[in-house]
Homo-oligomer: A and B are copies of this chain.
Amino acid sequence: MVDKIELHADRLSRVNQALEAEDFATIEALLAELEPAEIAILLESLPHDDRALVWARVSRDDDGEVLLHVHDEARASLLEDMDSEEIVAATEGMDSTDLAELIELLPEDVGDDVLRAMDAQQRLRVETMLAYDEDTAGRLMHVDTVSVRADVELEVVQRYLRFQGDAVPENTDMVMVVDREGVFVGRLPLARLVTRDQELTVAEVMDTEVDTIPATMSAHDVASLFETHDLVSAPVVDDDGRLLGRVTIDDVVDIIRGEADHTLMNMAGLDEEEDLFAPVLPSARRRAVWLGINLLTAFLAAWVIGLFQGTLEKIVALAVLMPIVASMGGIAGSQTLTLTIRGLALGQIGKSNSRWLLNKEMGIAAINGVIWALVVAVIAYLWFGNPMIGAVIGAALVINMLAAGIAGILVPLTLKRMGIDPALSGAVILTTVTDVVGFMSFLGLATLFLL
């Protein structure tokens, strides 16, 4: 077990060696041992040409699940190599939740082929799920729940379950209780079913204090709910309270992982679906946009410096020192920004405490600004032998760190209020502020006091 994990890198190098030697038997043998999720990681670790070669050797039984485990961009590269027939074959044996997810990701005509290939009951289930928006509980839920009435005895429930046999999903840990109209009234954990007196009725034993989830609830809210209420599974209901299915924590894990990933990647101007092993050209094109946006910022900073060309010509030491002011502001600001973005994601920041937070960050900026300003001022004085240069850079540093603290709070809060993801654009705006304020204050003060 442990070995399997430790050896992921080894596995990859074995595949690479086999690819070089064109030894496909070894690759097939290796793939046969792996779980779909492991095959997905392996495929994502390969450049596209090699990926296609390995993908062709993945067993048909695993195809569908592998497709679900890879990121969007890598999935597109895999689907390119399959015709409609192969895709339909890959979906055999997948459950309706996975099918709905996959169909949404397929080209429309291929998705229709997949739907047509299902039996009537399965198609109905999948179409019910597809009627809900992407990223809602209606899409996350599993519809193969077992439900019973409240007025029967536990013994009867047991007989019913034995009668159902294999139709009861392996991972069932509770039976749902519904009324005549299919409205959810409670649930009966299997642990209760088997430990209680069998002559009791479901109503006497069932759990009625259950958090139900409307099918239209967003995936993000579902994840929050699972986290704050420590849920393992929850029933999904329609507007009239009728039971539709249930969401379980293992589906929620993917959402949690995806959201964290989203913040990390967005802060660097990347898409979380980015394929690490995509070819050079499309990757270059995507990243070019972000570089272009940042270039505007850089030119704005250059323009500010350009305003002070006269000053710089007279005191070249300013050109040497000015990046320090901008850089320290940038670092301090990005710390505050990251804390604020995380606080917003965790729901810790509201209107009523943002004022307090702003004061706190300004306090921190003032303290650290003054401390590091003194250090920088002394070094600048010793370096260039001019005490006024030290005084000017110290003052500029304090000003820029205060600006960084304020921007680190206000920029993400404002973006959030405008409905813009603060992780994506927060860093660019913050850098613009700290560059402009940094160069402006340092060169401006120098112009006033040093010339």
Spell out A's residues near B (CB within 8 Å).
1-2, 4-5, 8-10, 12-13, 15-17, 35, 37-38, 41, 44-47, 158, 161-162, 164-166, 168-173, 189-198, 211-214, 217, 221, 224-230, 232, 248-250, 252-253, 256-257, 260-261, 263-265, 267-270, 274, 276-277, 279-281, 283-284, 287-288, 290-292, 294-295, 297-299, 301-302, 305-306, 309, 312-313, 316-317, 319-324, 326-328, 331-332, 334-335, 337-339, 342-343, 346-353, 356-357, 360, 363-364, 367-368, 371-372, 375-376, 379, 383, 431, 435, 439
Q: Residue A288 contacts which of B274, B298, B371 (CB distance < 8 angstroms)?
A: B371
The residue in A270, A291, A357, A371 that gathers the most chain B C-beta atoms within 10 A of its C-beta is: A291
Given A5-B221, A371-B288, the answer on whether A335 and B269 have CB atoms closer than 8 Å is yes
A170 in contact with B189 (CB, 8 Å): yes
Given A261-B260, A348-B44, the answer on whether A338 and B270 have CB atoms closer than 8 Å is yes
A202 to chain B, nearest CB (A): 14
Given A13-B350, A321-B302, the answer on whether A1 and B166 have CB atoms closer than 8 Å is no
A403 to chain B, nearest CB (A): 15
Complex CA gap A321/B322 in Å reads 13
Closest to A74 in B: B348
A352 in contact with B16 (CB, 8 Å): yes
B305 in contact with A323 (CB, 8 Å): yes
Q: Residue A45 contacts which of B165, B195, B338, B349 (CB distance < 8 angstroms)?
A: B349
- In the complex, given contacts A47-B360, A281-B367, A299-B324, what are 11 additional A-B residue pairs having Cβ atoms less than 8 angstroms apart? A1-B211, A9-B351, A17-B352, A47-B353, A168-B194, A232-B249, A256-B257, A268-B334, A295-B328, A299-B379, A323-B323
Q: Residue A291 contacts which of B15, B250, B332, B353 (CB distance < 8 angstroms)?
A: B332
A2 to chain B, nearest CB (A): 6
Grouping DSSP codes into helix (H, G, I), strand (E, B) and loop, the A interface class, with mixed when no group exceeds half, is helix
Given A169-B191, A320-B309, the answer on whether A264 and B338 have CB atoms closer than 8 Å is yes
A41 in contact with B347 (CB, 8 Å): yes
CB pairs A–B below 8 angstroms (6 shown) = A1-B211, A41-B228, A45-B349, A171-B232, A287-B364, A319-B322
Given A13-B350, A331-B294, A367-B284, the answer on whether A194 and B158 have CB atoms closer than 8 Å is yes
A320 in contact with B302 (CB, 8 Å): yes
Residues of B within 8 A of A265 (CB): 338, 342
